[in-house]
Chains A and B, each alone.
Chain A
Amino acid sequence: MTNFDYKQMDDVIHSRIRLAIMAMLAGVERAEFRFLRDQVKATDGNLGTHLKKLEDAGYVTAHKHFVDKKPVTHYALTRKGRQAFAVYLQRLEDLLPKRS
């Protein structure tokens, strides 16, 4: 049995969709909104809300531009976001029973 302290978990990341977004962005330089939406299987509005929370926390940045006159938004993890994600993973790993 490990001593789990929920206060140590980052609330911003500790949601299934936001965790998925952080995990996907951690493996790449940047990803487009539609790609994230298709992978997470969320609606545009739902994903947008979660991305806004991550942006407000300073964990992701958005870059908007036009491709063939259509607006496209790419998201990337910030340095702060990568650090927060690494800390979150460490906390999760600490919850696992130690191997002898």
Chain B
Amino acid sequence: MTPDPQDDLAYIRQLMEQTRHFTQLSGDHLIAWGLLIGLGLICDGAVTLGAHLPLSGIWIGLIVVGWLYSFWQGRRASRRQPVAGHAARIVSQLWIACGVAMTTAFMVGQWTGAVAGDSTPGLSALFIGIGVFMTGVLSGLNWFRNLAFGWWAGAVTLFIWHGSAALWILAGLFILLLSVPGLVLNLQARAAR
């Protein structure tokens, strides 16, 4: 190789950058969590319409299933990822941070009375919007990042519109702005293979 340091350094930087930013976003977690939380909210909504459902048991079951699935899928995906890089690690840590923040805000916030029950759906949409926005930025997927504006518009609606309608709106957001994009990501990944 002829030493042309300027060219070589530019070539090295380019390769390092394109590999460092490589993330292959899997839609599996999004589909699962969107459906699980959406289902829980539909059950909540059904109770407001007069159905008799063991809501606490349903929610605990859904959350446990979600975390078990995430753990199993995370291990499986790490073996399938062509590149284990920093961007992918940041994306997964970001969602864990969002999950912990939401759980803390709602469990501790409602238990202490610091977070009003009516504000829970709106706060959920705000947190998910942050996760979606940053995931889109880190993955270089602008269309996915822009879904965050849908979540934040949903949050504004949910802060204004309280009551049982908020449960149905939030369920719709989880399914339409989390599960459906997850499905699109998986279809795109399949088409690229």
Contact = CB atoms under 8 A, between A and B. Distances in A.
Interface string A7-30: 001000011100110011111111
A87 interface: no
A28 B86 contact: yes
A96 interface: yes
B9 A31 contact: no
Residue of B11, B16, B20, B86 with most chain A CB atoms under a 10 A cut-off: B16
A32 B83 contact: yes
Contact of A96 (B6, B20, B82, B85): B6
A81 to B, nearest CB: 14
A67 B5 contact: no
Contacts of B22: 28, 35
Interface in B67-107: 79-86, 89
A11 to B, nearest CB: 10
Given A28-B19, A92-B8, A9 B83 contact: no
A35 B9 CA distance: 22
A6 to B, nearest CB: 7
Interface residues of A, number: 30
Contact of A31 (B8, B11, B80, B82): B82
B18 interface: yes
Given A27-B16, A67-B79, A4 B3 contact: yes
A34 B82 contact: yes
Interface size class for chain B? 20 to 34
B15 A20 contact: yes
Given A20-B15, A31-B19, A67 B80 contact: yes
Given A20-B15, A27-B19, A27-B20, A95 B3 contact: yes
B12 interface: yes
Interface string B24-37: 00000000000000
B45 to A, nearest CB: 39
Interface of B: 1, 3, 5-6, 8-9, 11-12, 15-20, 22, 79-86, 89
28 contacts: A4-B3, A6-B3, A14-B1, A19-B1, A19-B8, A19-B11, A23-B12, A24-B19, A26-B16, A27-B15, A27-B19, A27-B85, A28-B20, A28-B86, A31-B19, A32-B81, A32-B83, A34-B82, A35-B22, A39-B15, A65-B79, A72-B79, A89-B9, A92-B8, A92-B12, A95-B3, A96-B5, A96-B9
Identify the 9 closest CB pairs spanning chains A and B, nearest first: A27-B20, A35-B82, A95-B5, A28-B85, A23-B15, A27-B16, A32-B82, A29-B84, A24-B19
